Structure 1
Amino acid sequence: MNVTQIFNRLLNHEELQREETKNLLVAITQGELNDPEIAALLTAIQMRGITVEELLGFRDGILETGVPVPLHCDRYIDVVGTGGDRKNTFNISTTACFVIAGAGYKVAKHGNFSATSVSGASNVIKNHGVMFTDDADKLNRSLDECGIVYLHAQLFAKAMKFVGAIRKALPFPTFFNLLGPIINPSKPQCQLLGVANLNQMRLYQQVYQRIGIDYGIVNSIDGYDEISLTSDFKVTTNDYERVFKPADLGFDIARPEELVGGATEEEAAQIFDAVLQGTALQAQKNIVMANAAFAIQVLEKGKKSIEECIDIARESLDSGKALSTFRRFVEINS
């Protein structure tokens, strides 16, 4: 690979092809780029803005150099947010995943420790005694027996360790922040993604269309990277684009303080538990049900109305099925 030629093209604001960015990522993992060159690459692309083709190429490279996860299931979903909205919400996506699994659907949740809030998905999962694994047999057992499997990102995306220190040293976010939601090593056929702004929504919409999966992308107009019920929110799927009001779903408007995940990992875990146990604030339960419902609609290929999907999510939560699913998950994975 001619790195000098690549940099000259980037300096001329030229776009790279998908295969080129894939090869760049592979070259990084093989030690062909030194740290200053990697920093220059991240900076150049960030200043110009990444294209769909380039993002897909980097995704290809991460998946190719990572640990694959062959799950014995034809259809399952991942629910994830881009992060970075600086709202420090409780673990809404992770909680919603257990509501979805409790309703009888399959979930392969991909996540990591938090970068911008008190508790990320891996924080709250580990807080309950779960041991992360990349053992395919154990992962499939979890999916088979309780409908959900957790994939801790650091065990699978091996390329990330080559850029971690550089990303941390740079005083701005890079395109690697955009890769997290699309590098689930099991390659799910369905995904519900929360984004912090509409520019990201348009970018990921094109990415999902190119990948060819069933998707839902959500954004709360007041800046949350999930359905927060604190304001109107936009949803984009394979079938429609629409702005919803909380009242359209039969929910009251939530107050921002009702979404806060606490000051410690332990407090965040307590909110997570309270939602599944039915003792949380009504707003917290509503928010989880709303996110779970749109994920269920994606799984159903849009054949169920959002009202039907909310009823399914509510039954999973109110009946205790979501809680039972989580307890079985902890039992299997501890």
Structure 2
Amino acid sequence: MKEILYKLFDYQYLSRDEAKEVLFSIVKGDVPDTQIAALITSFLMRNISVDEILGFRDALLDMRVGVDLSDYDALDIVGTGGDGKNTFNISTAACFVVAGAGYNVVKHGNYGATAISGASNVIEQQGVQFSTDSDKLRKSLDHSGIAYLHAPLFSPALKAVAPVRKSLGVRTFFNVLGPLVNPVQPEFQMLGVYNLAMSRLYGYIYQEEKKKFCIVHSMDGYDEISLTGQFKVVNNQGEQLYIPEELGFQRLAQKELYGGNTLEEASTIFRNVLHARGTEAQMNAVLVNAAFGIQTIEQDKSIHDCLEIAKDSLYGKKALLALKKFVEINN
């Protein structure tokens, strides 16, 4: 590990195999927290390479708790996190809108590392008990359209570094890894990233793996479509820059997306949105992200058609029904 650290401190890159072995060593408990922190910090000093991220990803997938849900052709909507915006749980709410519209969603998430409430926090606040039980996950998909995979249960390496990530309190390469290590490896992936360099990195990876994907980035730094200004969308068809007005939305202020100071506040916002009682800003942010999630699956549909599908799910209370069934099965 010392040799690896010296290499990184000298601004050299790890091979895919080296990165894989490093993560195996961390999980085996061979690396003290101080060295884990040094490793994480070194990647804050420069961009991570494709080989490095693939090596770390390979290790996590090799060690994951397996669950086969491949017959559901599901979508995951996830953000890298680490944008420092402390928004409410937009991506998680969007997942229920997509599920309410009749599509299968396998959401992979974790507790918040750099924000008050991560996906696992807000899901747990609804009374949900996390599980690796394949039958339960299938039942959840069959009856609510969504299954939730709590990352530490499926990826022991993420659990091993959680205390260090939390104490550092800044985005790390584990934020980059999270979207790549959904243990189901779903057919469709919608991903929010916090900068354009990350967009390019994931674009290379998804194209190499022939994924059906959609990468979104708000140009003012959000790892989701914030409607606070221009945003870029990269997918299998290419890339496009949008402004909120061309989709029929008014621009939002950052404060309108605020996620609260406590888990209880974040949970209240989440429930209000899915009850169609959120503010117009909150509802629109969820709708636009859900719409691009739907278009990731329905690539022949226009984004305006997908927005109508999302609105029908949210305002028609189909998303709320999906949430209620999901909680009933998973409590």
User: Equivalent pairs: percent with the same residue?
Assistant: 52
Counterparts in 2 of 1:102-121, with a 5 A limit?
102-121=100-119
Question: In the alignment, which of 297, 310, 319 is matched to residue 322 of structure 1?
Answer: 319
SS at match of 2:45: helix
Q: Which residue number corresponds to residue 249 of structure 1? A: 247
2: CA distance between counterparts of 1:114 and 1:169? 12
SS at match of 2:313: helix
Counterparts in 2 of 1:98-247, with a 5 A limit?
98-168=96-166, 170=168, 173-247=171-245
1:75-98 deviation digits (Å, cap 9, x = unpaired): 111111111222221111011000
1: CA distance between counterparts of 2:270 and 2:61? 31
1:206-258 deviation digits (Å, cap 9, x = unpaired): 12222331111111112211111111111111112111111111112122222
Task: Please say if residues 214 and 234 of structure 2, whose CA atoms lie closer than 8 Å, have aligned partners that are also in contact.
Answer: yes
Gaps of 5+ in 1: none
How far did residue 39 of structure 1 move?
4.1
Gaps of 5+ in 2: none
**Equivalences, count:** 331
Q: Does 1:64 align with 2:41?
A: no
2: CA distance between counterparts of 1:171 and 1:230? 25
Inter-CA distance 36–253: structure 2 relative to 1 (3 Å threshold) = closer
RMSD after superposition: 2.0
Task: Please say if residues 72 and 140 of structure 1, whose CA atoms lie closer than 8 Å, have aligned partners that are also in contact.
Answer: no
Give the alignment's TM-score, normalised by structure 2: 0.93
SS at match of 1:287: helix
Q: Does 1:272 align with 2:270?
A: yes
Q: Which residue number corresponds to residue 331 of structure 1? A: 328
Task: Please say if residues 142 and 333 of structure 1, whose CA atoms lie closer than 8 Å, have aligned partners that are also in contact.
Answer: yes
Q: Which residue number corresponds to residue 291 of structure 2? A: 293
How far did residue 44 of structure 1 move?
3.9
Task: Please say if residues 113 and 166 of structure 2, whose CA atoms lie closer than 8 Å, have aligned partners that are also in contact.
Answer: no
Q: Does 1:311 align with 2:305?
A: no
How far did residue 296 of structure 1 move?
0.6
How far did residue 203 of structure 1 move?
1.6
How far did residue 146 of structure 1 move?
1.2
1:40-68 deviation digits (Å, cap 9, x = unpaired): 44344443432011101101101111212
How far did residue 291 of structure 1 move?
0.2
Stretch moving more, 21-30 or 287-296: 21-30
1:300-320 deviation digits (Å, cap 9, x = unpaired): 2x2111011111111111211
2: CA distance between counterparts of 1:323 and 1:142? 15
2: CA distance between counterparts of 1:274 and 1:122? 18
Inter-CA distance 47–104: structure 2 relative to 1 (3 Å threshold) = same
